[in-house]
Amino acid sequence: MSARESLSDILSDHVQRLSKTRPVIAQAYEDVVQRLLASDAGQNCPAEGEVLPSFLLPDDQGRLVSLDYFLECGPVVVSMNRGHWCAFYLHELEALQLFQADIRDAGGQILAITPERQVFANELVTSCKLDFPVLCDIDNDYALSLGLAVWFGEEIKPLLLELGIDLEEYQGNAGWVIPVPATFVLNRDGRIVARFANADFRKRMEPAAILETLKTL
C-alpha cells in the first residue's frame, strides 16, 4: 500500500478475501464482533479530554519504559492491539509505519502495545520493519485497567488453533483474552485529543486522521 491509501479500504479488502478463502473463520469473527458490540465492549475506556493512565511496560528489547518518558519528548500515539498473528493489526502497523515520517515531523511518536511476549513483539518490529517500539502488556494488565480487555470466546479458539494460532503460546497464559483495538492521540500532558476504540476489530483509526490531529497540537 502507498502512504496515501485508505486503511479502511485495505481492511475491507481483507475482510472480503477472508470471507472467500476462509468463510468459517469469517463467520466466527462476525459472531464475535456482534457479541462484543452488543455488550459495548471497550466503550468505557478513557475518553477525549481525559488523561490516559500511565504505564511501565517492557518493550520489544526487554527494556522497561513508561508513558511519561515518551511524553517528555512530545505528543504520543498509542495503538492497543491483538498481536503478530492478527492480519488486521499487521495492516495497521504497515500503515502507521508508512506515515511514521510525517507523524514524526508533526512532533508525534508512535507506541504499539500488544499482550504478547517479548519474542513476538520483537518479531513484529523485525518483520514489519518498524522504527517505533512495540510494548508487551503481559496478561493484558494495562488493557484491563483501560477497560479494553475482552474474552475472545470459546467458539473461536479451536478454529484459530487449527490455523496454528495459539494465544496461550503467544501471551504466556491460558486466558484467551485480547484487547479491543484502540488508538489514543495524546498531547504532551498525556491528555487524549483523539480516540478510536471499536469492538469491531476489523476497523481501525486512519493514520491520515492521526496526522491531522497531531498537526493541530
Q: What confidence tens digit (pLDDT) does each residue in 101-126 have?
A: 999 999 999 999 999 999 999 999 99
Judged against a pLDDT cut of 80, whether residue 74 lies above it is answered with yes
Pick the closest to residue 204 from 67, 49, 93 (CA basis): 93
Question: CA–CA distance from 101 to each of 6, 62, 181 (Å)?
Answer: 17, 25, 23
Cβ-contact 1, 98 below 8 angstroms: yes
State the average pLDDT over residues 26-34.
95
Domain chopping of the chain, boundaries:
7-215
Number of separate helices (H) and strands (E) present in the chain? 9, 9
Grid cell at residue 39: 455488550
Query: Which option is the CATH number for 7-215: 3.40.30.10, 3.40.50.300, 2.60.40.790, 2.140.10.10?
Result: 3.40.30.10
Q: What confidence tens digit (pLDDT) does each residue in 116-157 have?
A: 999 999 999 999 999 999 999 999 999 999 999 999 988 899
Judged against a pLDDT cut of 60, whether residue 208 lies above it is answered with yes
Judged against a pLDDT cut of 70, whether residue 3 lies above it is answered with no
Q: Is 209 exposed, middle or buried (0-12, 13-18, 19+ CB in 10 A)?
A: middle
Q: Whole-angstrom Cα distance, residue 212 to residue 49?
A: 17
Instruction: pLDDT band for 2, please (50, 70, 90 cuts).
Output: very low
Q: Which residue has the cell 462484543?
A: 36
Query: pLDDT at position 4, please?
Result: 61
State the average pLDDT over residues 177-201.
97
Query: pLDDT at position 1, please?
Result: 43
Mean pLDDT, rounded, of the chain = 95
